[in-house]
Chains A and B, each alone.
Chain A
Amino acid sequence: MRYTTISALLLLSLRVDIYAAHAHAFLDHADPRVGNTVKSPPRAVALWFTQNLESAFSTIEILDANGARMNAGNASVDASDRKLLRVPVKVLPAGTYTVKWHVLSVDTHTTEGNFTFHVAP
C-alpha cells in the first residue's frame, strides 16, 4: 500500500511536470530559408523554433559580408505564435548575409546558432 501511494505521488509529480515540459529551442526553419538564395530582398527575417520563446531574451542579428549590422529594428516574438521570432531588415543589396540568433525558451534553456542566406543580383 505504501509503495502504491509513493508510486502514485511520483507519477503525479512527473505528470504535472510533463505538462509543463519544454525542450531546448532549436531552429526549425527560416524565411529566407537556411543557405538558400532569394531573388528579391526580404523586408524581414523570420525564424521558427521548436519551442516557445521568451521575447525579452531572444534576438536576431543580420550582418552583411563586411560585418555591418543590417537590422532595421528589434527582434520580437510573434504574439500569436511564440515559436516565431522576426526582425525587420534594411534594404539588402545583392550579397551574402549572416543570421546570428540567440534565444531563450520558456523553460530558461538558452540556445544559439547562425546561418547564411543570399540575395541574388
Chain B
Amino acid sequence: MSIRFPGPAAPALALVLASLAGAAAAHEIAGNRFFPATLAIDDPGVNDELAAPTIAMTKSGDEPPVKELDFSGEYSKRITEAFAISAGPTWTRLFAPGGPTGTGASGFQNLDTTFKYRFYKDPVHELIMSVGLSIEWGGSGASGVGADKFSTYTPTFFFGKGFGDLPDTVWWARPIALTGVVGYAIPGSARTLTFDPDTGDTGIELHPQFLNWGLSLQYSMPYLKSAVYDFGLPDFVNRLIPIVEASFQTPAANFAGTGLRTTGTVNPGVIWVSNYFQVGFEAIIPINRDSGRNVGALAQLHVYLDDLFPTTIGKPIFGGPVAPARPF
C-alpha cells in the first residue's frame, strides 16, 4: 500500500479554478462607499444578484499543460436583509491532452452553495464584515473534469474596508478600498482508497484541508467623483474601478507527502459599474508553476437584481427594503 497523489499541479489548478468559479460576490454599500462584486474572490456583500456568465480561460501547470475553459453562473437571494443564499453551476471544458483519456473532457463541476450573513456594517468608516459557509456538493459534478465525489465545507470570514476616513493630506487615497476573505476548506472525506486493476496495486489518495485566502485592492473612480474631488472626467471614466485581486490556497492539514504547496493567482483588471449591472475583466497571473502556466483571462457580467426588480425578485423574502421611520 502506498500514499499517492496525482501530481501537485492538477489539484492545484482545480483549486484555483474552483475558487474563481465559486466567487459568490455581491455588491454592497456602506456610507459613501460602493463595493462592487469582485470576480476572483468572494466579498462581504449580501444582496440579490445574478453573476452570469463568468468566463475563465486558463492553462494548468501540468506537463504537458492543459487548457481549460469555464462558464459559470451564480444566483444570490436574500432571505433577510443581512442573510443570503447563493448557488451556481460551473461548466468546464478541458482541451486535449486533458481529461481521463487524454482527449479532453467536458462537464459540470460540483454545485456550490454559500450561506452568508453580514453581521457588521459601519457606514461612517465604510467597514463591512460577514461570515459564511460554502458547501461544494460532492458527486453532483462530472468526475472527468475533476469534480470530487466527496463534499467540501468551507467556513469563511469576509471583510471590506473603504479608506474614505483618511485625513485631507492623503485625499487621493480615499477612493481606495480593501476587501478580503479567509476560509478553511474541510473535505467531508479524509482519504480515498484506490485500486489499479492492471497492477493490482492499492493506494490511498489524501484529501487535504486548505486555507483559502484572498484580497482585493480597489480604486473607485465613482467614489473619487462623488465624495473626494470631481475632476469633470468623462462619464465612462467615472464609472471605472481599477482592481487587483489575489486568491491563494495553502495546504493546512492532511497533505503529508503530497508535495502540495501554496498556489494562487494575482488578477489585475477593471470593473465598470452602472446603476443596474457591472462588467469586469481581469488577467489571471499564476504565482508559481503549480498554479498554472501562462496568463489566463476572466470576464464577468454581474446584474444587480435588487436595483432591477426592487419589488419582486430583488427584495429579501422576509422584510423589504428598509424605509426610514421619520423624515431626516
Give A contacts to B, CB under 8 Å: 13-14, 17-18, 20-24, 26-30, 33-36, 50-51, 56-59, 102, 104, 107-115
Contact = CB atoms under 8 A, between A and B. Distances in A.
A17 B306 CA distance: 11
Contact of B307 (A23, A56, A113): A23
A69 to B, nearest CB: 13
Interface in B208-231: 222, 225-230
A110 B227 CA distance: 17
A91 B32 CA distance: 27
Contact of A35 (B34, B228, B304): B228
In this complex, the interface size class of chain B, counting residues with CB under 8 Å from chain A, is: 20 to 34
A85 to B, nearest CB: 11
B211 to A, nearest CB: 35
A14 B309 contact: yes
A43 B185 CA distance: 59
Q: Give the secondary structure class of B's interface.
A: loop
Contact of A50 (B227, B275, B321): B275
A23 B275 CA distance: 6
29 contacts: A14-B309, A14-B313, A17-B308, A17-B310, A17-B313, A18-B309, A21-B307, A21-B308, A21-B310, A22-B307, A24-B29, A29-B226, A29-B230, A34-B226, A35-B171, A35-B228, A35-B229, A36-B230, A57-B323, A59-B327, A59-B328, A108-B321, A108-B322, A109-B306, A109-B321, A110-B324, A112-B32, A113-B32, A115-B32
Given A108-B323, A109-B321, A115-B227, A23 B31 contact: no
Contacts of B225: 29, 34
Given A36-B230, A113-B32, A17 B311 contact: yes
Given A23-B275, A34-B230, A112 B310 contact: no
